[in-house]
Every structure is written in C-alpha cells, then in structure tokens.
C-alpha cells in the first residue's frame, strides 16, 4: 500500500528521524519517496547527517513545508506542539481530501487539527515512541472524522513497519503518552540501575549493560510471544527458597510497583495539563 506513496515528514527532529529511519530500515519505502522539512537551514545539515548515518541513501530535507506537503500522498506532522499552528496555517492551502495527514504531536487533538485544516481532510492522530527507529516501536492511533478504513490501514501500515500498533479512543491518549511514549525513559532508568548493580558486583559496565538490556528485551518477548500473564512468568523464574525471591522481596520493600504506577499516572496528569490545543 505504501510502495507508490510519497510521504512528507514535516519536522525531522528526534521523532521524525526515528520514523524515517524505521521506515527505511524496514524496506517499506525508498528514500526517494520521502521528503523531510525542518525549521531552519542549520537544521537541514543536522537532520541529513542523522538520517544519512542510519540509512543507505539520502533523504531530501528542506525548509519549504508548503512544497513538501503539496506533493505528498501522506503528510506526517512531527513538529513541536507550539510550532503546529503556524505549520498548519502554512500547509493548509496545499492540502486536499485525497491526502492523509498524520500528526504525531503530543497534546494536539484531532478536533484542533480538523478545525485548522477544514475541507474534510482525513487525519489520523498518532502517538509513537522513539523505539520506532529500531523497528520495535509502539504506536497508538486515533482516527479523525474524515479518515476512512483505508486511511486507517495506511497509517497502520506505516507504524506497523516500525513496531506494534493499537487503535484507541482519543480520550486515552494522555494515558498512552504516559505509558508507551514516556515509557522508554522509565525503562532506561531500570536498565541503567540493573547495570549499576552489575558494576557493583564486579562486572564491567559494558557487559552489565548488555546483560540488563538483553534481559529486558527477552522478558518483553516472553510476554508478547507466550501471551502469559507477567505474574505467572515471574513465578516460573522464582524457585522456592532460591535467590530470585530475595531480590523480589527487595523490590516490594522499595515499592517498585507502586512507584511505576504512580510515575505513569503522574505523567498522564501532566499530559492533561499540557493540553492546550
């Protein structure tokens, strides 16, 4: 479905780069199908350097949003929320209802985008995480009033090529943001801490980080591939009177569970506060 589509990524920063890198790495699209934009001429070199370090061929980056949007079948809006109004004003005259607009901006609602773009433009709101650059991203999607099943499939194909995808009610986007978009930050801290433990016990930092990160990856795969409840999988690792139960008791005493729950709830509250658009 994407092989014949031109995609404009407006705002090739951290996330825009991650999406493009992931799409190219997956082989879903060729570099010639992508045009990217940034906000400044200095930004062009930065974005090209990042992308070209990761991809085999060159993706064109410019600052002309109108030109990029006009020629695209799919327009991905990946600027910061505070730059969104200006961007929408600029590209609005170039858009028509045969195109699909996908916004990845946090705190920018479908209603806001639809009001700005008007003329029944199909819009999908997406909340990916930066792991899309590795092909193991997690993206939540919500469809606007004018997005058909076909548009939903196109958006799904884009984000499926760089990880997993769920459609969910837009009302849950703050929760989604707090859990899976902010989630890598929490889990980096967990991996960093486990690696510190390894260092404390005499393992080199490099090896300790590999042990921790690969263990996190394998654990996630166990859950996704077996479909088992995490508690049951945890039980299967915990030998009676063994060492794991002692480690788990420390986690309980340190209130790991409630801390993680509170972290996600707090981040969701913050996302709600940030909701200006």
Ligand X SMILES: NC(=O)c1ccc[n+]([C@@H]2O[C@H](COP(=O)([O-])OP(=O)(O)OC[C@H]3O[C@@H](n4cnc5c(N)ncnc54)[C@H](OP(=O)(O)O)[C@@H]3O)[C@@H](O)[C@H]2O)c1
Q: What is the C-alpha to C-alpha distance for residues 143 and 195, in angstroms, rounded to an integer?
A: 40
DSSP 242-256: SSHHHHHHHHHHTTH
Q: What is the C-alpha to C-alpha distance for residues 102 and 180, in angstroms, rounded to an integer?
A: 18
Comparison of 90 and 238: residue with beta carbon closer to ligand X = 90
By the rule CB under 6 A, 181 interacts with ligand X: yes
Site stretch for ligand X (CB under 6 A), options 14-22, 26-34, 116-124, 268-276:
14-22
Comparison of 70 and 203: residue with beta carbon closer to ligand X = 70
Residue in 51, 79, 102, 110 binding ligand X, rule: CB under 6 A: 79
By the rule CB under 6 A, 72 interacts with ligand X: no
In angstroms, what CA-CA distances link 72 with 5, 32, 85, 92? 8, 12, 20, 13
Residue in 6, 26, 52, 83 binding ligand X, rule: CB under 6 A: 83
User: Burial code of 38-73, b = ≥16 C-beta within 10 A, e = fewer?
Assistant: bbeeebbeebbebbeeebeeebebeeebeebbbebe
Judge whether 117 and 101 are in contact, CB under 8 Å. yes
Residue 77 φ/ψ, nearest 5 degrees: -95, 110
Residue with the CB atom nearest ligand X in the bound state: 13
Residue in 104, 138, 142, 165 binding ligand X, rule: CB under 6 A: 104
Q: Which residues, including other chains, have CB under 8 Å from residue 15's CB and lie 6 or more apart?
A: 78, 104, 128, 130, 132
Site stretch for ligand X (CB under 6 A), options 99-107, 153-161, 229-237, 252-260:
99-107
Residues 137-176 that bind ligand X (CB under 6 A): none
By the rule CB under 6 A, 16 interacts with ligand X: yes
By the rule CB under 6 A, 43 interacts with ligand X: yes
Query: Which residues form the interface with ligand X (CB under 6 A)?
Result: 10-16, 37-40, 43, 47, 65, 78-81, 83, 86-87, 104-106, 127-130, 181
């Amino acid at each position: 479905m994407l092989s014949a589509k031109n995609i404009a990524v407006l705002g090739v920063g951290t996330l825009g780069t991650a999406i493009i890198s992931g799409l190219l790495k997956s082989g879903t699209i060729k570099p010639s199908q992508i045009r990217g934009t940034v906000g400044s001429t200095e930004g062009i070199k930065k974005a090209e350097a990042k992308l070209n370090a990761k991809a085999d061929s060159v993706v064109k980056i410019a600052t002309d949003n109108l030109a990029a949007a006009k020629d695209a079948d799919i327009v991905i809006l990946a600027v910061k929320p505070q730059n969104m109004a200006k961007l929408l004003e600029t590209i609005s005259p170039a858009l028509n209802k045969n195109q699909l607009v996908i916004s990845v901006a946090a705190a920018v609602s479908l209603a806001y985008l639809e009001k700005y773009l008007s003329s029944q433009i199909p819009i999908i709101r997406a909340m990916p995480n930066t792991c899309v650059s590795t092909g193991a991203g997690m993206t939540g999607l919500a469809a606007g009033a004018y997005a058909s099943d076909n548009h939903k499939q196109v958006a799904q194909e884009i984000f499926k090529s760089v990880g997993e995808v769920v459609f969910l009610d837009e009302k849950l986007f703050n929760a989604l943001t707090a859990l899976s978009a902010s989630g890598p930050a929490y889990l980096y801290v967990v991996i960093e801490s486990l690696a510190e433990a390894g260092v404390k016990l005499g393992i080199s930092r490099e090896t300790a980080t590999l042990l921790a990160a690969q263990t996190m990856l394998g654990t996630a795969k166990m859950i996704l591939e077996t479909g088992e409840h995490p508690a049951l999988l945890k039980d299967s690792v915990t030998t009676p009177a063994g060492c794991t139960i002692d480690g788990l008791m420390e986690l309980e005493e340190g209130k790991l569970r409630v801390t993680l729950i509170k972290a996600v709830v707090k981040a969701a509250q913050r996302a709600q506060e940030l909701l200006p658009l």
